[in-house]
Chain A
Amino acid sequence: MSDRFDQDQSVFATNVETLPGVPVEPGVPIEEGPAGAAEPVPLSQWQLFYRRFKRHKLGVASLVILILLFVMCYGADWIAPFPKGQQDLTPGSENQAPSWDHLFGTDQLGRDYFSEVLYAGQVSLRIGLTVAILSTLIGTIFGAIAGYFGGWVDQIIMRTTDLFLIVPAVAVLAVGQQRFGSSAATVSYVLAALLWMAIARIVRGQTLAVKEKEFVEAARAVGASGRRIVLRHILPNCIGPIVVNVTLAIAVAIIVESTLSFLGFGVGSSWGNLLNTARGNYDNNVHLLYFPGLAILLTVLCVNALGDGLRDALDPHAKH
Chain B
Amino acid sequence: MDQMDQKLLRERESKCIQENPPACTAGCPVHVDARGMAKAVQKEDYATGFALFNRMVPFPGIISRICNQPCRQTCKRNEIDESIFIKGLEQICVDNNNTAPKLLLPKAKTQKVAIVGAGLSGLTAALELSRKGYKVTVFEATDRLGGSIWDIAENKLPRQLIHNDFEIIAKFPIEIRYNTAINALDSLSAEYDAIYLATGFQLTGNSDLGLELASDGKIKVDLISLATNNNKVFVGGSLRREYGHPSPIASIADGKIAAISIDRLFQNASLTANREKEGLYETALYTNIKGIKPEPMVIAGDSDSGYSKTEAVQEANRCLLCECQECVKACEYLAHYRGYPKRYAREVYNNLSIVMGIHHANNMINSCSLCGLCEQICPGNLNMGEICHEARKIMVEKGKMPPSTHDFALRDMQFSNSDACALTRNQPGSSSSEWVFYPGCQLAASSPQYVQQMYSFLCERLSGGVGLLLGCCGAPASWAGQEAVFRETRNNLESNWRSLGSPKIITACPTCLSLFKNDSPDMPVENLWTLLERIGLPEGSTQLAKTPQKLAIHDSCTTRYDAEIQTSVRNLLGRLGYQIEELPLSRETTVCCGYGGLMLYANQEIAHKVIDRRINESELDYLAYCSMCRDNFASQGKRTYHLLDLILGGGEEDLATQAGPGYSKRQENRAKLKQTLVREVWGEEVAQPQAEVKVTIPADVLQLMEDRRILVDDVTNVIAHAESSGSKLKDARSGHYIAYFKPASVTYWVEYLPQADGFVVQNAYCHRIEIEG
Q: Do A and B come from one complex?
A: no
